[in-house]
Amino acid sequence: MKEIYLDNSATTALSPSAKAAMTEAMERYGNPSSIHTAGNRAKELLENCRKDVALTFGVRRPEPGELIFTGSGSEGDNLALIGTSFAKPRRAGGRIISTDSEHPGVENALKFLESRGFEVVRVPTENGVLNLDFLRSALNEKTFLVSLMAVNNETGSAYPVAEAFSMVKAYRNDIVTHTDAVQGYLHLPLNVKNMNADLITVSAHKIHGPKGVGALWVSAEARKRRDLSPVIFGGGQEAGFRSGTENLVGIAGFAAAAKEGFANLPSNIGKMKILRELAENLLDGLPVRLNLPKGARAPHILSVTVPGIRSETILHALSARGIYISNGSACSSHATVPSAALTAFGLSPADVGSTIRVSFSAENSEEDVRIFADALGEEISRLVHIR
């Protein structure tokens, strides 16, 4: 039975180039912090990888502390939010602005900060559109941090972070701006020169790299203002922002996947968009609802509601046929609270529970999409018949 993997927003298959780079990196077993020859070889590889990843941000020569390797996208988000909030005592009790549909890595960090006395204002996102007027009205003298995701992991909505951050900086330039770009990274163009962002979070395993490694980009302005403090303490690795011996094998795989994805970015975006649009056309004749954002979209994510059938039932039925998708976000697939992102599309709690997410990679084929669409139609007919 051919397996068809359409859950690429949850994680991606490790690319051959990433696997090869990781195998080679295993030979450089020295600690990058050691000053002997073995340590220097490891340090050289680490910094070459940093340059390769930085280039995907539009940065040719990263400065110390500009690109921090982390253990995941969630860790990067926590470092950005908690590290910024506790960087200066004057921020205690200050205002943070975010959205009502963030990834749990951001949302749960925000809840932690709320429990420590910080005020959090969440900007509504109706039908996948960020309410910029609400954001503008929420800015005040106590605001010190604005965190807006680049692409929603459940619906594929692409938020206008550059426009939003430009507005924030015009209000007051020292407000720290952060974006969780995990779902947008190497799925949409990214260049720090035109984003007005101070902090950008990305992750390797969403781009055919390994799990357990990510990065946080930090602007020159944020470094100069000392806007960020560490949340993990130890030996002072990663310019003091993220202590702990670097995962060189994982970082090597990350850099190889990033380099390959960046080189093929226009082509990959085009392929994923074709696959998503094909899926939309094929599903149009089925008794489903396509949750299509009214604003800009990422090319690889499609949200589909199948009224009257629980998403878990559909997942198990398709999984038995070797077809793998997700019910909403795999990062919060066991959540008991209805998704804010899907509720903002006007879905009832019952419909939220009947929503699946299909997510593509450039490695998928049109045949994969056709087989999935046929299988979904057959399973809907079968499940409706036996209900």
The residues assigned a catalytic role are: 331
CA distances to 34, 44, 136, 138, 303 from 132, rounded to whole Å, are 49, 44, 6, 10, 24
> Nearest 10 degrees: CA dihedral of 19, 25, 27, 32?
-160
Instruction: Enter the DSSP assignment of 170.
Output: H
Closest CA to 361 of 268, 234, 290: 268
Angle formed by the axes of helices 311-319 and 366-386, nearest 10°: 120
Say if strands 95-99 and 289-290 run parallel, antiparallel, or are unpaired.
unpaired
Instruction: Enter the DSSP assignment of 150.
Output: S
CA distance 317 to 376: 9
CA distance 50 to 155: 31
Write out the E strands in the chain: 4-5, 67-70, 95-99, 119-123, 125-126, 129-130, 143-147, 176-180, 199-203, 214-218, 289-290, 301-305, 323-324, 355-359
Half-sphere exposure of 348 (CA within 13 A, CB side): 5
Which tokens in the block code for residue 55?
């280039």
Closest CA to 380 of 285, 300, 293: 285
Which tokens in the block code for residue 142?
């106590």
The sign of the dihedral angle between the CA atoms of 230, 40, 203, 135 is positive
